[in-house]
A and B are shown apart, each in its own frame.
Chain A
């Protein structure tokens, strides 16, 4: 997101304020929520960022004169990639295992998985561009952010379904998990 400049149209300020307020309230809800029930709130801040990201890409595309759907897609690939990466299996920091063999295995597993996730995310972006390029009665204009968000999800799921059944993906996922398990072993006193 860029800051508001004198040349920005007035709606952009409204939109940016709304994003900030949403993120603030979602984060506040996370802190103050009933301690027995934090599950939904935990995801709301992340979700707010995703939704706003789709909107931001759409606005950027509009500001560019609507010429390039490829640029629009590229802006969303990173968001896809994040959602295709399993929670709790973030790259380990070197201190976790003094940079030993287990840590190296985790880094390699992450690199392999991240490459696959990027490929799936790129495919999802391509599918989104294709879906937005279709015309005809079966493909009505996308006139709301909600419709765009729904299409973004649909294309992401289609790309995921096409890739997640492959043996290569199952191997990368299993190796990522196994590497984290070994790291946990090596970190034990």
Chain B
């Protein structure tokens, strides 16, 4: 007895139609150009080495709040936050009257292999925060760290608490050794010292392959099967291609910082267990006393909620708010429900402080 009840003649027609639509989609994709790095107007406000601080043009009456500096991950490009007009966290934040700044780490090159977490956490992020604060005539900013950028932001806030008025962590790994964390299980066995010794920088394509391997069929075969449904919809094809471009636009990782991150965070879990030092100074999360908003996604396959939730008891903040988003690691940026929900949640949370 089997559920397999294909009618061969109908299946042949289905295959022919599917093939026709996929071929149409393939041809359509080849004509599109989705090369922009974001859709919201912005200016380069500051640059240090490869790191650029972008300042977004206001889109609504100012809410009169401290500048909001966004710190994205090193492992992907930040334009995911401003992908297109109807899928843009940044646009949503601007619409709430927030003064938005974005730290863009750029693409490390061979000669950058010696950049360390000290460079990223203290030197680059610090310089960007100082610039945004000075430009606005204030002494501290609200810091929104996204994914790995959230981990870097927590470290920065612990090392420089006076610079951070409010801290928002979004899909941020804090406890790197939880049961659901598949990426962490793989990272435990990684000889990152030898990799960096040989390769210098770690190829972004390698990391990207690891991310896709977390769900190797859903993130390839199922996604591409969906193309047949949108073959005649140019907007949908553009959306698809923007996502594809972002997924495959993975900067190489500066070797030293990569090695430190793998060892200190994934393998030794120092943010939670203690003993983390960056730039010769101990990172003590208890030093963070500012208001703290922790946003994580319930179906996140990359940073499972169990990795983010421990932020609750880690810091010295008495003003802690957790916000669970019903979705995944990518959906939190681009899903329809996120577009209204997240900017409002962040805007109202900041407004109340």
Q: Which residues of A contact B (CB under 8 A)?
A: 9, 11-12, 14-15, 17-19, 21-22, 25-26, 29-30, 32-34, 36-37, 39-41, 43-44, 47-48, 50-52, 55, 58-59, 61-62, 66, 69, 72, 83-84, 86-88, 131-135, 139-146, 148-150, 153, 156-157, 160, 164-165, 167, 170-171, 173-175, 177-178, 181-182, 184-185
Contact = CB atoms under 8 A, between A and B. Distances in A.
Contacts of B14: 144-146
Pick the 9 closest A-B CB pairs, nearest first.
Answer: A174-B189, A11-B12, A25-B23, A22-B19, A29-B26, A18-B16, A141-B5, A33-B30, A18-B19
Given A66-B2, A86-B209, A164-B185, 9 more contacts: A11-B9, A18-B18, A18-B20, A44-B227, A48-B19, A51-B225, A84-B216, A146-B18, A146-B225
Contacts of A139: 3
25 contacts: A14-B16, A15-B11, A17-B16, A29-B23, A34-B32, A40-B29, A40-B240, A41-B29, A51-B225, A52-B15, A66-B4, A88-B209, A132-B2, A133-B1, A133-B2, A141-B4, A141-B5, A145-B14, A145-B18, A157-B215, A160-B216, A164-B182, A170-B186, A173-B186, A184-B199
Given A33-B29, A36-B35, A14 B12 contact: yes
A41 B224 CA distance: 10
Nearest to B196: A181
B321 interface: no
Nearest to B188: A170
A157 B248 CA distance: 21
B217 A47 contact: no
B3 A174 contact: no
Contacts of B351: none
Contacts of B353: none
Nearest to B222: A153
Interface in B37-71: none
A173 B7 CA distance: 41
A25 B220 CA distance: 19
The winner among B4, B198, B215 for most chain A CB atoms within 10 A is B4
Contacts of A87: 209
Nearest to A144: B14
B180 to A, nearest CB: 9
B241 interface: yes
A40 B29 CA distance: 8
A184 B4 contact: no
Contact of A19 (B15, B31, B185, B205): B15
Contacts of A52: 15
Interface in B226-251: 227, 240-241, 244-245, 247-248
B6 interface: yes
A142 B11 contact: no
A29 B3 contact: no
Secondary structure class of chain A's binding surface, majority of residues: helix
A63 to B, nearest CB: 8
Interface residues on B, range: 35 or more
B22 to A, nearest CB: 6
Contacts of B221: 47, 50-51, 83, 149, 153
Contacts of A39: 241, 244-245, 247-248
Nearest to B24: A25
A41 B26 contact: yes
A40 B241 contact: yes
B190 interface: yes
Contacts of B244: 39-40
Contacts of B318: none
Interface in B126-185: 182, 185
The winner among B26, B35, B248 for most chain A CB atoms within 10 A is B26
Contacts of A141: 3-5
Contacts of A143: 5-7, 10
B3 to A, nearest CB: 5
A179 B149 CA distance: 31
B16 A15 contact: yes
A32 B30 contact: yes
A141 B216 CA distance: 26
A11 B209 CA distance: 38
B319 interface: no
A157 B218 contact: yes
A29 B28 CA distance: 9
